[in-house]
Amino acid sequence: MNAKRLLPSLWIVILSLAAPSLSVAQALPKPGAHPAGAAAIFAGGCFWCMEEAFDKVPGVISTTSGYIGGHVKNPTYEQVSTSQTGHAEAVQVEYDPAKTSYEKLVEIFWRNIDPTERNAQFCDHGSQYRSAIFYRDDEQKRIADASRAALQKKRPFKGEIVTEITKASEFYPAEGYHQNYHVKNPVRYKFYKTGCGRAARLEQLWGKPGS
């Protein structure tokens, strides 16, 4: 089955199933500064899936889905989904540096995206689904640049790496119903993730998990 052809009908089903949650939590959380302690910001397509990937990492304290890299203040999901605000769906990862490192998080990021797709990830298309590392300081930029350069030399897949490495702007938390979606709505989440072909494509790119 061609996952890309599922996009219109798949999202209609997913969003219609989520409709009860939308009426409960319409308001955006207040956009604030990065959380206390060490934090990293990554964009890898659907932020539901990126949350799940980082939630599994020992040393990760919390993950927050949100929007970054655009020109509209306090954007809503409906605005971002038009591709007109310039934002990317992203996840902000708060972590304990004594238990994991930024280098490790960058490595996990690569393994959970398709770095060869521009303005798209898996079945989702549009600039809001672009892949990117949003660095917060010079050290994060150095690590991200070095990691991309090393991957470019030893990549296990064909195609050039088009993932952006760019300075973080203000991060806006997404609406409440998007947070921890894979935990709160496991059936709907699995339906989306499977239909989008994410796991299958990641295995094509990187091999089987743990290999």
In a domain? residue 23: no
In a domain, 19, yes or no: no
Classify residue 24: in a domain, yes or no.
no
* Parent domain of 117: 37-206
Asked if the structure places residue 116 within a domain, the reply is: yes
Assigned domain for 17 exists: no
Structure tokens at 131: 């892949």
Domain membership of residue 87 (yes or no) is yes
Q: What is the rounded (10 degree) CA torsion for 194, 198, 201, 205?
A: -140
210 pLDDT exceeds 90?
Answer: no
Question: What local confidence, expressed as pLDDT, does residue 37 receive?
Answer: 59
Using 50, 70 and 90 to split pLDDT, how confident is the model at 20? very low
Torsion angle (degrees, nearest 10) of CA 89, 103, 152, 164: 30
Examine residue 145 and state whether it is found in any structural domain, yes or no: yes
Q: What is the signed CA dihedral for 156, 43, 89, 175, rounded to 10 degrees?
A: 120
**Does residue 19 carry a pLDDT above 50?**
no
> Is 196 among the catalytic positions?
no
Q: What is the pLDDT of residues 105-164, one digit of tens each?
A: 999 999 999 999 999 999 999 999 999 999 999 999 999 999 999 999 999 999 999 999
Give me the pLDDT at residue 21, please: 41
> For residues 31 and 47, what is the distance between their CA atoms, to the nearest angstrom?
17
In the chain, the number of structural domains is: 1
Q: How large a percentage of the chain has pLDDT more than 90?
A: 80
- Of 46, 49, 123, 196, the active-site residue reads 46
- Does residue 30 lie within any of the structural domains? no
pLDDT score for 209: 77
Mean pLDDT for the chain?
87
Residue 150 is part of a domain; what is its CATH number?
Answer: 3.30.1060.10
**pLDDT of residue 35 exceeding 80:** no
pTM: 0.84
Q: What is the pLDDT of residue 149?
A: 97
